[in-house]
Structure 1
Amino acid sequence: MKKIGFSGTLDPITNGHMWVIGEARSIADEVIVFLSQNSTKQPRFSAEERRAIVLESCAERQWDNVQVVIVKSDYTARVARKHGVEYLIRGIRTTADFDYENLIQQTNVEVIGGAKTLFVMPPRDLGSVSSSFVKALEGPVGWNWTTKKFVPGPAYRAWIISWLHKEWQALFGSAAEDWFNRLTGADAYGGATRHYHNLDHLVHGLAEIRAWAANTQPAQRDADLVRAAFWFHDAHYGHEADAAVSNEEASARLWLASGLEPDAGRADEVATLIRATDHLQGGHVVHAMKEVLLGVDLAILGQDEEVYEHYARGIRAEYGHVPDERYNAQRTRVLEHLRGKAYGGTLYADPWFAEQYSEPAIVNLTRELAALG
């Protein structure tokens, strides 16, 4: 077969969609993805953004025989015929899917004279994956780690950037887009060498703050101070041995230079909270929200095993320049220190985080220590 088509809204494209496209590539020389632009729907991403995400996802897998056509105000099956496509391919997950798709197939062929449909059945692990399923995951603590399993890399990155953008605008408004782009870009959390202190870390922490605020009902002012500090607390993250100031101090100074908070007193409070995450000077910092921010930053230690292992691998990758023997010795000291605090009930000084994460953190830290030998 020369050409085969695949259609959908793809907001976002999932690994299930990618599987169907892969099946299409196995039976045709060329695959055309027909991307629906439906004025009755309100997708997260524009048609052009979705097109770019699909192409990037295919390029990531080195699929060079896939193109994307945006369908506007027309029947996809009819547009397919205009592009020389005789067959569309669709994934069938359930009998309900088949009944629906069979009806659409009959309409496509008998009513509008469009392309016919081939049906394929995805593997069991992709049987429940859909765009709606992925959207429903958004919000709770750890949602990003779960979502990552079900969408290709470019779709995942676009999704969390979109989520972060909403969080940013809720806090700082729409007048600081340049700083949002800077923090999520290659020189900060979006950097290629950021294996843990990256966009995932940013999303996870902001979700933790949401959960803490929802359950403890702090003053809005206090919650916003913590949010602002978390946005900037790892904005600078380097390993320069001869650096004049610590990463945390550099991040605090970057925050102060941003001008995002016009009130000098509040700006200084945020800088104080950022400095509280510095193991060298943080112990001397005094602020009512200090223990909350530290709880957010250390909450990763109390996640489920899969998320914690992802974190541990990320930390090792960020210190990839350190030889194994030296890394294992230094990491062991850090983990033993953290576990000792957890046993003593001081790892999480804020009650909310202590209740949620103290015991799981001990389990995770103990397991990593055993792996380090």
Structure 2
Amino acid sequence: MKIAVFPGSFDPFTLAHQDLVERALPLFDKIYIAIGVNSAKQGLLTVGDKLATIQAVFKDKPTIEVVSFEGLTINFCNTVGANFLIRGLRNTADFEFENSIAQNNLILAPHIETYFLMSRSGLAHISSTIVRDVWKNKGSIVNMVPAVINDFLRNKDPL
């Protein structure tokens, strides 16, 4: 089986994230959307909220599993038997950052290959950071996040 992990903080999960996962579906038998947990960071959403909302986005996709993990991503990959990582690239700055991580991951776990997918035109400008900023300032995020995420955040008070 070809098993991939799409790791991230997903705070919140965006339309760009969703697009990457959907485009990766034909390439893999199973994809884990793996929410990295950093107990030292306070995010917009709790891990439970992220799990519930992302699971709702992919409720009809049995080959996608949404989970959380702590520690090194490659250790999580080993735990679930994944030999592939999926990472999205919006621009050359993302490439430089992601390439460094991928090279270090290859040193630590040569059997895990990173696949980079370029963001589609019209989605490359979307980041979780921008979504949080627009939402906190009471702007519309309807064109930046899946409907499930928008509905959830509409009922949450900005910090």
TM-score by structure 2 length? 0.92
Q: Which residue of 2 aligns with 1:151?
A: 145
Cα deviation for residue 64 of structure 1 reads 2.2
1:68 aligns with 2:66: yes
Q: Which residue of 2 aligns with 1:111?
A: 108
Q: Which of 147, 151, 155 lines up with 1:161 in the alignment? A: 155
Cα deviation for residue 121 of structure 1 reads 0.7
The structure showing larger relative contact order (alpha-carbon pairs under 8 Å, at least 6 residues apart) is 2
Q: Which residue of 2 aligns with 1:233?
A: none
Structure showing the higher strand proportion among its residues: 2
User: What's the RMSD between the two structures over aligned residues?
Assistant: 1.7
For the 8 Å contact 1:4–1:88, the answer to whether it is kept is yes
For the 8 Å contact 1:91–1:119, the answer to whether it is kept is yes
Query: How many equivalent residue pairs?
Result: 159
Q: Residues 74-85 of structure 1 correspond to what in structure 2 (within 5 A)?
A: 74-85=71-82
Separation of aligned partners in 1, 2:87 and 2:106: 15
Counterparts in 2 of 1:8 and 1:103: CA distance versus 1, 3 Å? same
Separation of aligned partners in 2, 1:139 and 1:30: 35
Cα deviation for residue 138 of structure 1 reads 2.2
Structure showing the higher helix proportion among its residues: 1
Cα deviation for residue 5 of structure 1 reads 1.2
Aligned residue type for 2:14:
T
Separation of aligned partners in 1, 2:136 and 2:48: 25
Separation of aligned partners in 2, 1:138 and 1:56: 20
Cα deviation for residue 83 of structure 1 reads 0.7
Q: Which residue of 1 aligns with 2:13?
A: 13
Q: Which residue of 2 aligns with 1:58?
A: 58
Separation of aligned partners in 1, 2:46 and 2:17: 18
Q: Deviations over 1:139-161 (max 9, x none)?
A: 446x1xx3011101111122122
Q: Which of 99, 108, 117 lines up with 1:120 in the alignment? A: 117
Alignment gaps of 5+ in structure 1: 167-373
Aligned residue type for 2:24:
A
1:137 aligns with 2:134: yes
**Aligned with 2:58: secondary structure?**
helix
Alignment gaps of 5+ in structure 2: none
For the 8 Å contact 1:32–1:68, the answer to whether it is kept is yes
For the 8 Å contact 1:78–1:115, the answer to whether it is kept is no
Aligned residue type for 2:148:
P
For the 8 Å contact 1:78–1:114, the answer to whether it is kept is no
Cα deviation for residue 114 of structure 1 reads 6.8
When Rg is computed on C-alpha atoms for both structures, the one with the higher figure is 1
TM-score by structure 1 length? 0.41
Separation of aligned partners in 2, 1:28 and 1:66: 10
Separation of aligned partners in 1, 2:2 and 2:114: 15
Q: Which runs of 4+ in 1 moved over 2 A?
A: 111-116, 138-141
**Aligned with 1:64: secondary structure?**
coil
